[in-house]
Structure 1
Amino acid sequence: MARTTPHHRPTTEGASEGRPLYWRIATQLLGELRAGTIPPGERLPSERHLAAHFRVSRETVRQALEVLRRDGLVSTDRRGTHATLTGLPVESSTYLDFPVGARSAAPDACDRATVAWEAPPPEHAAELGIAPLRPTLVHRYRSATADGSGLRTAVTSFSAVALAEVDELARYRDRADGSCAAQLRRTYDWMRRAGLTLHHRDTITRLADGPSVRVTRRVHDQYARILEITDLVVDARQDALVYEFTLPAAG
């Protein structure tokens, strides 16, 4: 007769010291997920980092993650292991939604975003210090209402500095084929978590051939290194351009 081992969902309540070490680590990690330490959909730290955090071996961390994975609390793909447990995002009120100002306020607006590993627009390449025809990560965004009005489009080119400093962005390179859906809303939060202080500078000009305006955004870090350039074009016949920048408190 085949022997089966009962599987129980780890919980933060009633954790027993008699459990295996990996089970107790799974319970502690689950508690952090429930507390919102790691937002839903966000990548978990590396096994090495978790091992140091919990002061256990990487094998123990690997076993703990498998417990959570079997219960659907985390998932693993080519980009790493991600939290799937429902909870409140960390610092949800302090990070800027990327691309800033690109989403229409209309309730019936729909959007699409993709990434490609390709040569950026020539004017972007010059400012980013990228040689002609040399590729980088390029993000394209489009938002419009159901009848096609209120169109907003944005093209963002990331610098080599941004890709080197921000792991979450760098991971898109291997699958950035131009058709890959990529809502990089947490881009600025990723940059801040990588230790970068962000300085935004927007230039707004009205296009000569219609009612649209162009917003050119340049983002630098605390060392004056450029991180990204975004060209946002907005149909401004009805919409007011409102940009809200939030600087988190020190400490």
Structure 2
Amino acid sequence: MARHTPHDHPHTAGRPAHRSGDRPLYWRIATELLGELRDGTIPPGERLPGERQLAEHFRVSRETVRQALDVLRRDGLVATDRRGSHATLPGPPVEHPTSLAFPVGARRPADPRAVDRATVAWEAPPPGHAEALGLAPHRPTLVHRYESAGADGRGRRRAVSSFSAVALAEVAELGRYRDRADGTSSVQLRRAYDWMRRAGLTLHHRDTITRLPDAPTVRVTRLVQDQYARPLEITDLVVDAQRDALVYEFTLPAAV
């Protein structure tokens, strides 16, 4: 059996900067995937996406993903059985408080019959978002799009979320997506609010719900600010509903 020095293993080398040719591509993918396991994007014990989904996520071949999983499997960070692969990192279960659902309107718990799609892109946000986030016109930022519909095509909801420069600078998990936000790969940011709280930000939400004229739908606009009144994120959600306008506010303390 081949011997490996500690620097051969992603879990001992951490997430180093990579220069071209320093490491094989599969080792870099293993390190990036390990980072997502550690920051809770994939909680301990939860099944990993399939090889095809991971290949789309990291924009590599399935063979590269397979080799990356082998690296993590060798180090005991991933285990595979007949139901698939899952993370085996130690640690307590990740909290999933209902109030932290991202984006607003995301189905929780996930309906296995629903068709969900989420992507991120690095692009100029909608004009209203840029103004709310204090961004210069046409300045790109991280934009998240979420679509969901029931198995019968009903109950459709569409959300567009934009993040501020403050959020991307202070929340490492969000900033990491900048170089991978191509607008096509499937990306879930379900724990975005939890990441913000872990970064020491107190979250103040202001949700405005307005019924759209001449349509059986409502628009929900959520603006999230921190304890210094700095904008962090704004989401516009359109969903089938029958409600009058409603505004409510609440605050989530930073994680201790």
TM-score, length of structure 2 as denominator length:
0.63
Cα 1:250–1:164 shift into 2, 3 Å? closer
Give the count of matched residue pairs. Answer: 194
Structure 2 SS opposite 1:174: helix
CA distance in 1, matches of 2:96, 2:103: 16
Contact 1:72–1:84, Cα closer than 8 Å, also in 2: no
Residue of structure 1 equivalent to 2:118: 113
Question: Aligned AA for 1:103?
Answer: R
CA distance in 2, matches of 1:225, 1:248: 15
Contact 1:198–1:221, Cα closer than 8 Å, also in 2: yes
CA distance in 2, matches of 1:249, 1:140: 26
Cα 1:235–1:94 shift into 2, 3 Å? closer
Q: Give 5+ residue unaligned stretches, structure 2.
A: 13-36, 45-69, 80-85
Deviation by residue 1:205-251 (Cα, 9 ceiling, x = unmatched): 0001301000000000000000011001111159xx9x997846985
Rg larger in structure: 1
Contact 1:39–1:89, Cα closer than 8 Å, also in 2: no
What is the Cα deviation at residue 41 of structure 1?
2.3
Residue of structure 1 equivalent to 2:51: none
Question: Aligned AA for 1:148?
Answer: G
Contact 1:95–1:189, Cα closer than 8 Å, also in 2: no
Q: Give 5+ residue unaligned stretches, structure 1.
A: 8-19, 27-35, 44-65, 76-82
Residue of structure 2 equivalent to 1:224: 229
State percent identity of aligned pairs: 71
CA distance in 2, matches of 1:208, 1:187: 32
Cα 1:113–1:250 shift into 2, 3 Å? closer
Residue of structure 1 equivalent to 2:132: 127
Cα 1:69–1:212 shift into 2, 3 Å? same
Structure-to-structure mapping, 1:1-251, within 5 angstroms: 4=1, 39=40, 41=42, 70-73=74-77, 84-85=87-88, 89-93=93-97, 96-103=100-107, 108-236=113-241, 247=252
What is the Cα deviation at residue 126 of structure 1?
1.1
Structure 1's consecutive aligned runs of 4 or more residues displaced over 6 angstroms after TM superposition are: 243-246
TM-score, length of structure 1 as denominator length:
0.64
Deviation by residue 1:73-111 (Cα, 9 ceiling, x = unmatched): 159xxxxxxx92177533234761211323277652121
RMSD over aligned Cα atoms: 3.9
Contact 1:207–1:214, Cα closer than 8 Å, also in 2: yes
CA distance in 2, matches of 1:160, 1:6: 45
